[in-house]
Amino acid sequence: MTKEKLLIGYVWSHALPAVGPEDAQKMTHINIAFGHVKDAQVTLPPDHRLDELNRLREYNPRLGILLSLGGWGSGGFSEAAATEEGRRLLAKSAVQVLKECGLDGIDVDWEYPCYSVAGIASQAADKQNFTLLLKEMRRALDEQRKKDGRHYLLTIAAGADQYFIDGTEMDQVEQYLDWVQLMTYDMRGGFNTFTGHHTNLFTSTGDLFRISVDASVNMFAKAGVPKDKIVIGAAFYSRLWQNVPNVNNGLHQMTAASGGYGPMYTELVAEYINKNGFVRYFDQEAQAPYLFDGQTFITYDDEESIRAKCAYLKEQGLKGIMFWEYSCDQTRTLLDTMYTSLF
């Protein structure tokens, strides 16, 4: 399998045992979700299942396995990054976990520097401290490389819109990173009372919110991230709105309440896509599918939209594609589509 492009899967730690030989061979990297930061130390959940790593490497000796730190609502970053000692301790702790568990790198998923929207601590100085933290982590990883000859990966998951760029120094951060993963999902839903695509490649006419995969890529490139370091995101789950006006098949309609999480792709295939009153539509402008039954609107990724994303990343010279989250598609259709589209 060529490795010109990356195919990265986020996998909940408790779902690692479900990753079989075929899937392990299709992915270039796995990001294990999640480790956490507590008192400037990396901590692992009780069900981390890192005992599965040797089995996965037997399936695919070239598979890169990273520990993803953080996730929505996971704090400790702002406090640790605020002092030189805190940054040093966190970096040292990360290296120790890599050595003990036989991991290939660290993926920092701080959601988000300078923002407390997820209920975590933040401060204005996060903007500079984020850079200093990643610089120190890169230094510690490179020191370990001198000892054992291995290059350890350092990556981040980045919020896809302008707020993340405003809260960071991406033109400085990128030099310490192997790649930058844009979370180009949840781009609409949780805070919006206006229906739309949550993981769309482009923005369609009539959409009040202009963010898309393409818009995000261009924002980060303008902010100083080389395109060959950018990884785009795909979703193995949906977002939905209820009590949607039966106009335009539910697309771009105001609703009384904001959107929420919808079914995982496994359930979409079994119960929703052209079933039980739901009709599948495809927005050619956005290159995104959606479902509508007259009152419930569901936005998601499918084979057609993922093929479009893979073609786009090749055309744009991007690093690759990642997805959240492996266990959400037990049909394996979406991973298979990524694999055949890229390789």
284 burial (CB, 10 Å; 0-12 / 13-18 / 19+) is exposed
> Tokens 């010279």 — which residue?
317
Spell out the residues 6+ positions from residue 191 whose beta carbon is closer than 8 angstroms to its own: 258
Sheet of strand 260-264, all strands in order from the earlier edge strand to the far edge: 260-264, 237-241, 297-299, 288-292, 279-283
Closest alpha carbon to 300 in 273, 339, 331, 277: 273
Residue 170: which H helix or E strand, with range?
helix 170-173
Express the helix, strand and coil content of the chain in percent, nearest 5 each: 40, 25, 40
The string of DSSP letters for 134-158 reads HHHHHHHHHHHHHHH-PPPEEEEEE
DSSP letter (8 states) at residue 119: S
Catalytic member of 52, 111, 136, 174: 111
Q: Can 111 be counted among the known catalytic residues?
A: yes
Rounded CA-CA distance 153/65 in Å is 9
Side chain identity at residue 274, one-letter code: N
Closest alpha carbon to 5 in 314, 312, 325: 314
Q: Are 138 and 91 in contact (CB under 8 A)?
A: no
Q: Would you name the residues annotated as active-site residues?
A: 111
